[in-house]
Structure 1
Amino acid sequence: MKKYVTYFSFFIIIITLTSCEFPQKPATGPEDQIYVFADSLEFEQIKPELSSTLEKIIYTPQPEKLFILNRVNIENLEKYKKKKNLIFAAPLNSNNETSKFIKAVIDTNLKAKIIQDTSVIITKYNLWARDQLVTVLTAQTMGELIKKIKDQQESLIYAYQKISDKRLYQNLYNSHYEQKNIEAKFLKKYGWIIYVQADFQVAKEDSANNFVWIRRSPNSDMERWIFIHWIDNASLDYLNVDSIKAIRDEMTEKYYRTTDDKGYVVIAKDYFTTSEINFNGRYTILTQGLWELNIKGMGGPFVNYTFYDEKSKRLYMIDGSVFAPKYFKRNLIQQMDVTIQSFLTKGELNKDRLEDLLDALDD
């Protein structure tokens, strides 16, 4: 079981030194960079496990790392302390400067807890900057520290992905660039909304077949597509990987076609992954992979959320794709993922939000 210590009363020294800086400024630096404060020799020992955890390769179809680790010396703390993603890593029985720092800022009770319970990971949000995540990885010995990183892989990657999504969400969602009239139309006609940024347009709306496609930068070298498809009077029987692949291929063959109508989008065989997640309190199957044309020649990454809504008896599929052959696509597909997470049914909207959207429709 994962065990995170998320309170930082033991960081009294640091908090006292930085308390004058509130209200905090946003954390800085690239979204995919994690700065690791560690001794150079010790970093080489923990790097294999830390890299396999946080530098996972995603294929877009080019191989890209989910995060990139950068080792820095503790002497450079002042330079890097306001970066978005930080890790302090050292065993307690070491005598290097990083270990001394960790032992100086954690109290005796917590130190005893870390020694007693080898699964404990220390985290702190907003320590030196807003929307920052700081993690302390320590154990009594190097062997125990390496084992801890290995055992807590899912917890570590989840924490850094979620804070990254939160930051991206805040950057993407701006009421000044929100097309509330389109969102309100979807709400009134179909009973759901998704955030529609100013530079997205409705590419296809097929009410008879419960399909909506919004698109950004059509016919450019950096396209982004999102479609929403739903099946009325559905059942949980639809919620399996084979059905999801079949439904997605059916939708893309029908709607994602080349201008000459000879080619259409299908799911590529390579790098297709699935996972079970909780999305707004619902059991959801998350699928990720690559799309390609049936006649080859084009391709890119996609992310897909499929879930069953008990209240409406609908199966929903929300799918985001990227076509950007000249660019790295890790950040672009994350934008699609975060936009998909804005999806809400009418029943999930609070009264104020509902009235705000309906007012936009009247305008």
Structure 2
Amino acid sequence: MKKIMSFLIAALLLISCEKGTKSSVTLPTSIGNTNKILVVAKGNEWAGKIGDEIRTVFGEHQVGLPQPETLLSVSQIDPTGFKSFMRNGKAILFIKKGQKESVTVEKNKYAAPQVIVYATAKNEEGIVNLINKRGKEIIKIFQKEDIKFIQNIFKKERLDETKFKTTQNLGISIDIPKRFKLVDDTGDFLWLRQHLKSGIARGDGTNNVLIYSVPLINEGSVADNITEVRDSIGKKYIPGSKEGMYMITEQAYTPFTYKAEIDGKKAYETRGKWEVKNDFMAGPFLNYTVVDKKNNRLIVFEGFTYAPSVNKRNFLFELEAIAKSMKIK
């Protein structure tokens, strides 16, 4: 009898411990928009050199946008106020003083999903130098988490790409949300459009996705030919309102091209502005040209936005998240 009682007590204690463990890891849902971070720093630090350096580094303008927009938007709170729901922010930069200079990352401490970056140095000068040297690295940490956040949302509401001839012919899968509607699907070229009335990014106008491929002729000249290729596609598939009008790369603005990686493959990321030849329509575009050596071709994903009179950073960020979900079979 004593053995049975001992067994029952042990079982109850085990169940109790398991319940306690489960409840202890249950976190509230984080709050905050994409591309926005909360800086935890003392008021005098924020008003002084540390705050100036953060605003300079994080306030760098995103290339390729018609109006100046920063890479990230920042707000500040004093450590004494960092409690209760304020700790549930999705993206937090914590300024700390300590003996060892470091940038460390902690995820899902107070809420989920959440990323906290701790920037630590001995004194004010050390923190300023740390932000100056490693600020872009910190920005990439926050942006990478935001990309994952958006992709998780889109994965739950994705279009079935097997319904499109082009994605089937190209052998790719990609997480595009259902709010995008079909414009054209030739088997070689896919065009999907979202009217910007709902979703993470809101406003007037449209977000657009283009997917197509071109032969890989000379890998060494891929980056140099991206503008020429996109202009030929615009002329062929994206007409304006009248004859002789079609989408081209804006001639007064030179696009920026960077090395990138999509699905583990070499790629180029190009940001610039588009316009309609002989018309007044224009906006930003984001192009990923992926080198698919196995199939001797280039797979091209392009997103472009038409949203007059509103900021466009978050629209392009959604298109970036879609592009980076692409898998090539």
TM-score of the aligned structures, taking structure 2 as reference length: 0.83
Q: How does 1:1-363 map to 2 (within 5 A)?
A: 20-43=23-46, 44-58=48-62, 60-78=65-83, 79-92=85-98, 111=99, 114=100, 118=101, 120-175=102-157, 177-182=158-163, 185-207=165-187, 210-217=188-195, 221-232=204-215, 234-240=217-223, 242-268=224-250, 269-270=252-253, 272-346=255-329
Question: Is contact 2:166-2:212 (8 Å) kept?
Answer: no
CA distance in 2, matches of 1:262, 1:187: 29
Deviation at 1:203, TM superposition (A): 1.8
Range with bigger deviation, 124-133 or 224-233: 224-233
Q: Deviations over 1:11-57 (max 9, x none)?
A: xxxxxxx9955222331122232111111221221123212322222
CA spacing shift, 1:65–1:296, aligned 2, 3 Å: farther
Distance 1:33 1:21, change over 3 A: farther
Contact 1:238 1:315 in 2 (8 A): no
Q: Is the 8 A contact 2:35 2:73 kept in 1?
A: yes
Report the alpha carbon displacement of residue 248 of structure 1 after superposing the two structures with TM: 1.0
* Secondary structure of the corresponding residue to residue 138 of structure 1: strand
In the alignment, the residues of structure 1 paired with residue 307 and residue 321 of structure 2 have an alpha-carbon distance, to the nearest angstrom, of 18
Does the 8 A contact of 1:257 with 1:265 survive in 2?
yes
In structure 2, do the counterparts of structure 1 residues 296 and 211 end up closer, same or farther at CA, with 3 Å as the change threshold?
A: same
The Cα offsets for residues 66-109 of structure 1, whole Å up to 9 and x where unpaired, read as: 211111011111141110111111433xxxxxxxxxxxxxxxxx
Tell me if the contact between 1:33 and 1:85 (Cα under 8 Å) persists in the aligned partners: yes
Return 5+ residue gaps in structure 2 as ranges: 1-20, 197-202
The 2-side partners of 1:285 and 1:302 are apart by 14
Distance 1:122 1:85 in 2: 14
Identity %: 22
Q: Which residue identity does 2:92 align to in structure 1?
A: L
- Quote how far apart the aligned CAs of 1:302 are: 1.0
The answer to whether the Cα contact below 8 Å between 1:124 and 1:134 also exists between their aligned partners in 2 is yes
Contact kept, 8 Å, 1:186 with 1:193, in 2: the verdict is no
1:328 aligned counterpart, secondary structure: coil
- Following superposition, the deviation at residue 168 of structure 1 comes to 1.1
* More deviation, 163-172/272-281: 272-281
Find the aligned partners of 1:45 and 1:283 in 2 and give their Cα distance.
39
Structure 1 distance, partners of 2:180, 2:273, is 22
Contact persistence 1:235–1:315 (CA under 8 A): no
Q: Are the aligned partners of 2:166 and 2:186 in contact in 1 as well (CA < 8 Å)?
A: no
8 Å Cα contact 1:234-1:315 kept in structure 2:
no
1:277 Cα deviation after fit: 1.8
Shift of 1:267: 1.6
**Aligned counterparts of 2:151 and 2:54: Cα–Cα separation in 1:** 26
Change (3 A) 1:32 1:190: closer
Structure 1 residue 147: deviation in Å? 0.9
Between Structure 1 and Structure 2, how many residues are aligned? Answer: 299
Q: TM-score, length-normalised on structure 1?
A: 0.76
Q: 2-side partners of 1:20 and 1:192: how far apart?
A: 41
| AA of the residue aligned to 1:215 | R
- CA separation of 1:233 and 1:65: change in aligned 2, threshold 3 A: closer
Moved over 4 A (4+): 18-21
In 2, Cα distance between the equivalents of 1:31 and 1:271?
28
Structure having the higher Rg: 2
CA distance in 2, matches of 1:344, 1:266: 27
3-state SS of 1:63 partner: coil
